[in-house]
Amino acid sequence: MVNYVRVVSITFGGAGRKRTVHETIESNMEMIMYLLRKAALEKPDIICLPECSPFLNLSMKEMVDSAEEVPGPLFNEVAHFARENKTYVIFPMMRKEEGKIFNSAVLIGRSGEYIGSYNKVHPTIWELEAKVTPGVEAETFDLDFGKVGFAICFDLNFEDVMKKLAEDEAKLIFFPSMYLGGLQLKIWAFNCGAYFVSSTTTEGSMIVSPLGGILAVSSKYQQVVYEDLNLDYEILHLDYNNEKLESIKEKYGPKVNFKVAQPEAVFLMSSEAKDVTVKGIVEEFGLETRRGYFRRASKIREKSLKL
């Protein structure tokens, strides 16, 4: 059943260092609110800002010392925007909780409520030395349009975060960061079978498809990029499925889309119909998802080893 979500990524590198820490944060927030208002013109379902947005251009110690509890003044300003525009906002910041400091992606709901935070599982060495506490593991959140997950900056170098997001079957992964990630974004999107949305401090923020293709990229001329993503999709392998695709098309025609990735031999199947879901089509035609196919292959391999 067609399930489009409009995703917006904002590129923001800070408003520049000011005379004091307070003035720097204040200036950053003024620019953040300007960019959020600009993003709101696209009527988004969810907006993502870069890592530590309100604290950019501060030293690591200054960021840690400026960490706020949530809800707090910075949160409340963005939450008011979210409520006015009925959109989710991902507001990354240094967050204080029970005396500990986390580098967090704070998730704000459409009504301005605090939904939860993803805490960076792999802070950098200099973050750890500055007493930033690591998160325990990747986690996902069920929103009104589907399941979302997160990774922050340095997390992109560690498989435990990617594997957990893949296991939890996140449909949409957000990557607020201070570095671009490049090829890794495509690898993560492909391996997780999820849309991947980066929001960085320099031009080159990306929206990537579950097959690893780039759908949108920011530039100095376009800090705000967006894409409409249909989250009623599944990733399948061509093995054991390919011969069934013609029958699916004969029955559903343009209501079902196939996007094939070669030479990877996988495809994305999505539903454009109001009365049928991809899950229903998978069951109706006895299809096997890529994840299910690989699990079956592993089980057969294990049995063979015991012979």
184-215 pLDDT, tens digit per residue, is 999 999 999 999 999 999 999 999 999 999 99
How high does pLDDT run on average in the chain?
97
Work out the average pLDDT over 248-272. 96
CATH number of the domain where residue 71 is located? 3.60.110.10
CA distance 90 to 109: 9
Work out the average pLDDT over 112-127. 98
Label residue 83 exposed, middle or buried (CB < 10 Å: 0-12, 13-18, 19+). Answer: middle
CA distance 186 to 196: 8
Q: Are 32 and 50 in contact (CB under 8 A)?
A: no
Q: Give the per-residue pLDDT at 55.
A: 98
Do 171 and 197 share a domain, yes or no? yes
Q: Are 288 and 296 in contact (CB under 8 A)?
A: yes
pLDDT per residue as tens digits for the range 127-146: 999 999 999 999 999 999 99
Do 155 and 288 share a domain, yes or no? no
Do 96 and 121 share a domain, yes or no? yes
Work out the average pLDDT over 261-271. 96
Q: Give the per-residue pLDDT at 112.
A: 98
108 token code pair: 């704000």
The whole domain housing 274 covers: 233-305
Do 33 and 88 share a domain, yes or no? yes
Is pLDDT of 118 > 90? yes
Band the pLDDT of 285: cuts 50, 70, 90: very high
Residue finishing a domain among 195, 230, 265? 230
Is pLDDT of 35 > 90? yes
pTM of the entire predicted model? 0.96
Residue finishing a domain among 199, 230, 261? 230
Q: Give the per-residue pLDDT at 266.
A: 97
Do 38 and 157 share a domain, yes or no? yes
How many Cα atoms are found within 13 Å in the side-chain-facing hemisphere of 199?
A: 31
The count of structural domains within the chain is 2
Do 253 and 218 share a domain, yes or no? no
Do 115 and 16 share a domain, yes or no? yes
Work out the average pLDDT over 276-300. 97
pLDDT per residue as tens digits for the range 149-194: 999 999 999 999 999 999 999 999 999 999 999 999 999 999 999 9
231 token code pair: 């989250």
Do 261 and 218 share a domain, yes or no? no
Q: Give the per-residue pLDDT at 146.
A: 97
Band the pLDDT of 307: cuts 50, 70, 90: confident
pLDDT per residue as tens digits for the range 53-82: 999 999 999 999 999 999 999 999 999 999
